Amino acid sequence: MSVCNIRIFEYCYKLGVSEMKYLKVEVIGVSPPCPRCKKTEENARKAASKLIQEGVKVEVTKLDITAKETISKYGVLMSPAIAINGVVKVMGKVLDVGVIERLLREAL
């Protein structure tokens, strides 16, 4: 954590925002993964690591798009998809790291 981020953290703490937000990122794809699903997971992890460096709690998991639990939760999707905190935000496309990062920040 850089000095600057520690300052932000302390600032938040003083303001009373002691509890940092938590992001649950689910990458939904086929298993075994197709190239596009793999790339999406990779990019999501890269984007997440940037936020993690700033002290945000981000957890990236993978879901199988054809599993019954996934379908009953999210319905019919195009692979690969990304859900943040239980809401599907993207489907059927591979996004760049920067775009996913923006998406994560919007969800904060």
**Identity (one letter) of the amino acid at 17?**
V
Gap between the Cα atoms of 81 and 95, Å rounded: 10
Residue 43 structure tokens: 């990019």
CB 81 within 8 A of CB 33: no
Q: How big is the site for another protein, counted in residues (CB under 8 A)?
A: 31
Of 52 and 107, the one with the shorter C-beta distance to another protein is: 107
Of 21, 34, 42, 53, the one binding another protein by CB under 8 A: 34
| Span near another protein by CB under 8 A; candidates 7-15, 16-24, 54-62, 74-82 | 74-82
Q: With residue 87 as reference, give the H or E element that holds it.
A: strand 87-91
DSSP bridge partners of 62: 27
In the complex, least distance from residue 12 CB atom to another protein, rounded to whole angstroms = 26
Positions that interact with another protein (CB under 8 A)? 30, 34-37, 65-66, 68, 71-79, 86-96, 99, 103, 106
